[in-house]
Amino acid sequence: MPQITVDYSEQLADDFDRPGFARGLHAAVVEIAAAKPPACKTQFRRTENTTVGDDTDGHGVVHVTIGLLAGRTDETKARLTETVLELVRQHLKPADGLALHVSAEVRDLDPSYRKFES
């Protein structure tokens, strides 16, 4: 915990500083949501096709999902979400002419969540 997933359009791959974003995001999750640094895990998933409305060209999408153990206030989650959006602005410089759509959500992990490390 936290479990972080970043889905992003493949046309953003060369313009998205993913390692820098992850380092900044992990620091923010530690500061805002009281996570422990070694517990922060981020997976990036590049998506091949992006369609916005009926337009299949000219758009880039980034969506960040953060799953946390229950107990954070709505205010904490909102602060973290706003920080995520700012970090994307800092670490993603898309090519000219590309419309960028960025979203983020912080959600509670289901009570059934379990993990193991080896």
What are the residue ranges spanned by the domains of the chain? 3-108
Mean pLDDT computed over every residue of the chain: 94
CATH 3.40.190.10 fits 3-108, yes or no: no
Q: What number of CA atoms fall less than 13 Å from residue 105's CA on the CB side?
A: 6
pLDDT of residue 50: 84
pLDDT in tens, 85-116: 999 999 999 878 889 999 999 999 999 999 88
Strands 3-9 and 59-68: antiparallel
Packing angle, helices 74-91 and 18-33, rounded to 10: 160
pTM, two decimals, is 0.93
Q: Residue 41 is inside which H or E element, if any?
A: strand 41-47
Burial class (CB in 10 A: 0-12, 13-18, 19+), 88: buried
